[in-house]
């Protein structure tokens, strides 16, 4: 089990790798440096941590109240780093957040229904002035720690679950609205129409991108096929001459 790997084990493995790298530079390649099953697990841990640290920076958003009786829209950026999710204290004070949470691996974050669901089931409720208690739909990705001074009311960037699953980094989509007051029925209808149009535009762009990639693959395949056919023809001609 991974629990039997201690910090000392990791330090010893890293030091061994450094020595091996030095020896390899002097005497040539000496293998991958995995001596035991524990070494292999430590290497997998380190590689996973490196991948996590290199993930693209993305903003996080909290959706508008699912309860139509709420008179205000409160949207906040939530910080997630490594394998822990938390609400910054300053944010909790500003918006009187009532938070119920457990430490949550980012890899298991999903969007489901009206609550933030993870493998340990995390739920965050906002209790604010002139607002009723409600659950929010949201999901998290790791922004940079130094960007926390940009915490604002109002949606900054839109991300979708598809973006998260595809691990892509498309250009930010525009906010549907950033006002604190919830729009009336007419404004809400306009917002929903704009949202549907934006989603349709985004889906079209995604399809076009996929088709372009497929065409590129086909062209590459044709080129490889023609080159192979040319080589076969040349070989056939040479065999006839001999």
pLDDT band at 41 (very low <50, low <70, confident <90, very high): confident
Beta-carbon contacts of residue 87 (< 8 Å; ≥ 6 apart): 78, 79, 97, 99, 101, 124
The total number of structural domains that make up the chain? 3
Judge if 44 and 85 occupy the same domain.
Answer: no
* Higher-pLDDT residue of 42, 141: 42
Judge if 47 and 66 occupy the same domain.
Answer: no
Q: What is the tens place of the pLDDT at every residue in 59-115?
A: 333 333 333 333 233 333 333 322 233 344 443 333 333 333 333 332 222 222 223
Which helix (H) or strand (E) segment holds residue 25: the answer is helix 7-27
The DSSP bridge pattern shows strands 97-100 and 84-86 to be unpaired
pTM for the structure as a whole: 0.23
Judge if 70 and 177 occupy the same domain.
Answer: yes
Q: What is the tens place of the pLDDT at every residue in 216-226?
A: 777 766 665 66
Last residue of a domain, one of 32, 53, 74: 53
Q: What are the tokens at 218?
A: 């086909």
| Sign, Cα dihedral of 150, 152, 156, 159 | positive
DSSP 3-state assignment of 131? coil
Judge if 38 and 83 occupy the same domain.
Answer: no
Which helix (H) or strand (E) segment holds residue 94: the answer is helix 89-95
pLDDT score of 148: 34
pLDDT score of 17: 76
Which class for 33: exposed (0-12), middle (13-18), buried (19 or more C-beta within 10 A)?
Answer: middle
Q: What is the tens place of the pLDDT at every residue in 145-184?
A: 333 333 322 223 233 333 333 333 333 333 332 333 344 5
Which helix (H) or strand (E) segment holds residue 192: the answer is helix 185-241
Judge if 192 and 87 occupy the same domain.
Answer: no
DSSP 3-state assignment of 156? coil
**Is residue 77 a contact partner of residue 152, using CB atoms and an 8 Å limit?**
yes
Cα angle value 54/59/64 (rounded, 5°)? 150
- Whether 144 has a pLDDT exceeding 50, the answer reads no
Judge if 101 and 12 occupy the same domain.
Answer: no
pLDDT score of 159: 33
Range of the domain at 216: 183-242
- Whether 23 has a pLDDT exceeding 70, the answer reads no
Judge if 66 and 176 occupy the same domain.
Answer: yes
User: Whats the size of the chain, residue-wise?
Assistant: 242
* Higher-pLDDT residue of 42, 198: 42
Last residue of a domain, one of 133, 156, 182: 182
- Tell me what the mean pLDDT of segment 125-139 comes to: 28
Q: Tell me 72's DSSP state.
A: B
**Is residue 156 a contact partner of residue 177, using CB atoms and an 8 Å limit?**
no
Judge if 97 and 154 occupy the same domain.
Answer: yes
Average pLDDT of the chain, as a whole number? 49
């Amino acid at each position: 089990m991974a629990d039997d790997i201690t910090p000392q084990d990791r330090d010893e493995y890293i030091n061994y790798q450094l020595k091996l790298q030095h020896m390899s530079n002097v005497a040539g390649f000496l293998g991958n440096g995995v001596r035991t099953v524990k070494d292999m697990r430590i290497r997998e841990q380190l590689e996973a941590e490196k991948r996590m640290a290199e993930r693209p920076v993305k903003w996080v958003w909290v959706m508008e109240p699912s309860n139509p009786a709420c008179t205000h829209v409160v949207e906040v950026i939530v910080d997630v780093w490594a394998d822990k999710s938390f609400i910054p204290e300053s944010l909790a004070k500003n918006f009187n957040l009532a938070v119920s949470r457990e430490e949550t691996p980012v890899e298991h974050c999903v969007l489901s229904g009206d609550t933030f669901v993870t493998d340990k089931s995390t739920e965050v409720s906002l209790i604010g002035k002139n607002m009723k208690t409600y659950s929010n739909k949201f999901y998290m990705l790791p922004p940079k720690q130094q960007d926390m001074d940009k915490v604002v009311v109002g949606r900054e960037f839109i991300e979708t679950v598809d973006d998260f699953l595809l691990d892509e980094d498309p250009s930010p989509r525009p906010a549907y609205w950033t006002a604190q007051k919830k729009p009336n029925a007419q404004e809400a209808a306009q917002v929903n129409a704009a949202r549907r149009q934006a989603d349709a535009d985004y889906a079209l762009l995604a399809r076009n991108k996929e088709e372009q990639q497929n065409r590129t693959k086909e062209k590459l395949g044709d080129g490889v096929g023609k080159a192979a056919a040319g080589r076969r023809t040349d070989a056939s001609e040479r065999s006839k001459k001999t």
